Amino acid sequence: MGKFQVIDHPLIQHKLTIIRDKNCGTKVFREVVDEIAMLMAYEVSRDMPLEDIEIETPITPSTQKTLSGKKVAIVPILRAGIGMVDGILELIPAAKVGHIGMFRDEETFEPHEYFFKMPEDIDSRQLFIVDPMLATGGSAIMAIDSLKKRGASNMKFVCLVAAPEGVKALQEAHPDVDIYTAALDERLNEQGYIVPGLGDAGDRLFGTK
């Protein structure tokens, strides 16, 4: 079973409360999602491999650590995942970005894929799949199915708010994928929304409702 980690740093909890508030407007919502994603990227990238290199400090030759060139791609699930990309790029600026478009049928909660564009070498990259919400898990599962079909094998899923139902479904479907979330909420409601959650992440990010 992959790792499941709630990254509940006090700064992250504080910022999550700001965006959970229904009175938080689009501008602040967008800014704070970006900040939380950046803070989460520290933890999500904790096991990035290092190698030794020889350098010279002003004092002496020395063996030091550098990232070992294991390349990263950030994969936002459209639309709402887009809000998490820039924050992670601030820490890993050389990462490539692939996009996968999914929307959830409002009645059945079934996900549908409508867009897929990845860097050519996804099979040799560490992928950080990002989407603020893990609700039923359907969108994340289908996105990862799609990535695996195209050769990806090294993936972490990063969200802001997860429902227990979604975590269970994703772990069962893809036990090889580590899951990171800023909060594990109580449950889903009858409309498939996370409770207490933060509402519709895409609409709140882009101001479409």
Per CB under 6 A, 133 contacts ligand PRP: yes
Per CB under 6 A, 202 contacts ligand PRP: yes
Per CB under 6 A, 197 contacts ligand PRP: no
Tell me if residue 108 is catalytic. Answer: yes
CA distance linking residue 200 with residue 78, whole number of Å:
13
Tell me if residue 200 is catalytic. Answer: yes
Among positions 111-170, residues that touch ligand URA (CB under 6 A) are 133, 135
What is the total residue count of the chain?
209
Of the residues 99, 103, 113, 199, which one makes contact with ligand PRP according to CB under 6 A = 103
HEC string of 8-37?
CCHHHHHHHHHHHCCCCCHHHHHHHHHHHH
Per-residue binder mask for ligand PRP (CB under 6 A), 26-65, x = binder: ----------------------------------------
Of 122 and 169, CB closest to ligand PRP: 169
Of the residues 77, 100, 130, 147, which one makes contact with ligand PRP according to CB under 6 A = 77
CA distance linking residue 167 with residue 4, whole number of Å:
8
Give residue for tokens 């009175």: 23
CB under 5 to 8 A by kind: which of ligand PRP, ligand URA, none does 134 bind?
Answer: ligand PRP
Closest among 81, 89, 94, 65 to 33, alpha carbons compared: 81
Rg (CA), the chain: 18
Which residues, including other chains, have CB under 8 Å from residue 18's CB and lie 6 or more apart? Answer: 24, 28, 32
Of 79 and 174, CB closest to ligand URA: 79
Tell me if residue 104 is catalytic. Answer: yes
Give the active site residues: 104, 108, 200, 203
